């Protein structure tokens, strides 16, 4: 059932486990995430990016998440979140349509602008009793990974400064903070880039729940250590995409004559559900509904 995100994250922070925030862009992914949460008796966050909203439209996607959450997922707590809202219009639209939480991502801008925009959106969100996430530091993607490997950028220069994080939270009054401690958006084999001492220091100075982005590809051991050091929410997207693609290729290869979209997509939906269930167990949120 769709509930305020505060209910989910506050309990996770107190219980020292993490809640998975899984990206969706359609019915199949949404069903996979929520079916996994129900089977594992776990709270879950379903989230959409700006590109996912553009793929269909905000109202359609919100209706899918709400409907599936309140029917298939009625036995577990579910929250709906905007992931990486880089444009204030989309952040405002998600606040107005009824999201439980929004991410104002102004991390690519200068510090003063990041503070100003995050504080501005926090006021709007709080007026509707909605939580807001902001981001401090930079979390790389594929292009950033190339620059990192060629030496054009230094990862440490992009990471969240613990003292600045404390100042940022005090100024903006945001509810959760996405931090950069070395993780990378996407899936890169052999990448274990979590600066655990930095994460621990941020936790000591910042009292609000911390969010780890770029979690796909990290080992269970790295996840568990990050949770122990203060992470309450972990974002996962790429792992679900990989599970979807692998199952889809297998289905088409084995049964090339299938024309029913449901039969084509069902194995991929099931594969994503398995991936979400596995992740829930690693994060320790199973049986916490």
At 141 the pLDDT is 45
How confident is the model over 50-88, as pLDDT tens digits? 999 999 899 999 999 999 999 999 999 999 999 999 999
CA dihedral 134, 135, 136, 141 (to 10 degrees): -170
How confident is the model over 19-55, as pLDDT tens digits? 999 999 999 999 999 999 999 999 999 999 999 999 9
List all residues 6 or more positions away from 127 whose beta carbon is below 8 Å from its beta carbon: none
- Helix and strand element counts for the chain (H, E): 13, 8
CA 248 – CA 269 distance, rounded (Å): 9
Q: What is the 3-state secondary structure (H, E, C) of 66-87?
A: HHHHHCCCCCCCEEEEEEEECC
How confident is the model over 126-136, as pLDDT tens digits? 999 999 999 99
Strands 231-236 and 19-23: parallel
Q: How many CB atoms lie within 10 A of CB 152?
A: 9
CA 147 – CA 153 distance, rounded (Å): 6
Choose the CATH number for 5-283 among 3.90.1490.10, 3.20.20.70, 3.30.450.40, 1.10.600.10: 3.20.20.70
Q: Is 83 a catalytic residue?
A: yes
Instruction: Using alpha carbons, select from 94, 92, 93, 146 the residue that is nearest to residue 121.
Output: 92
Band of the pLDDT at 154, cuts 50, 70, 90? low
Domain boundaries, the chain: 5-283
Instruction: Using alpha carbons, select from 30, 28, 15 the residue that is nearest to residue 73.
Output: 30
Q: Which member of 83, 105, 161, 195 is catalytic?
A: 83
Q: Judge contact between 32 and 273, C-beta under 8 A.
A: yes
């Amino acid at each position: 059932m769709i509930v305020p995100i505060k209910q989910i994250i506050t309990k996770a922070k107190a219980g020292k486990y993490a809640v998975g925030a899984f990206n969706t862009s359609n019915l199949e992914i949404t069903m996979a995430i929520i079916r996994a949460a129900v089977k594992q008796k776990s709270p879950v966050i379903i989230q959409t990016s700006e590109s996912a909203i553009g793929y269909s439209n905000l109202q359609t996607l919100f209706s899918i998440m709400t409907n599936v959450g309140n029917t298939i997922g009625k036995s577990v707590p579910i929250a709906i979140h905007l992931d990486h809202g880089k444009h204030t219009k989309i952040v405002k639209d998600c606040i107005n349509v009824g999201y439980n939480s929004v991410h104002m991502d102004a991390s690519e801008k200068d510090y003063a602008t990041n503070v100003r925009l995050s504080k501005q959106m926090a006021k709007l969100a709080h007026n509707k009793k909605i939580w807001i996430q902001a981001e401090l530091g930079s979390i790389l993607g594929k292009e950033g990974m190339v620059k990192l490997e060629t030496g054009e950028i230094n990862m440490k220069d992009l990471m969240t400064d613990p003292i600045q994080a404390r100042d940022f939270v005090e100024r903006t009054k945001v509810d959760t903070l996405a931090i950069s401690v070395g993780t990378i958006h996407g899936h890169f084999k052999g990448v274990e880039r979590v600066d655990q001492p930095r994460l621990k220091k941020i936790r000591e100075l910042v009292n609000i729940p911390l969010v780890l982005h770029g979690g796909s590809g990290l080992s269970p051991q790295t996840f568990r250590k990050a949770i122990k050091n203060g992470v309450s929410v972990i974002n996962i997207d790429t792992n679900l995409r990989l599970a979807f693609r692998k199952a889809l290729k297998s289905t088409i290869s084995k049964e090339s004559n299938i024309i029913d979209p449901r039969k084509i997509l069902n194995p991929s939906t099931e594969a994503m559900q398995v991936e979400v269930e596995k992740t829930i167990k690693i994060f320790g949120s199973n049986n916490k509904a």
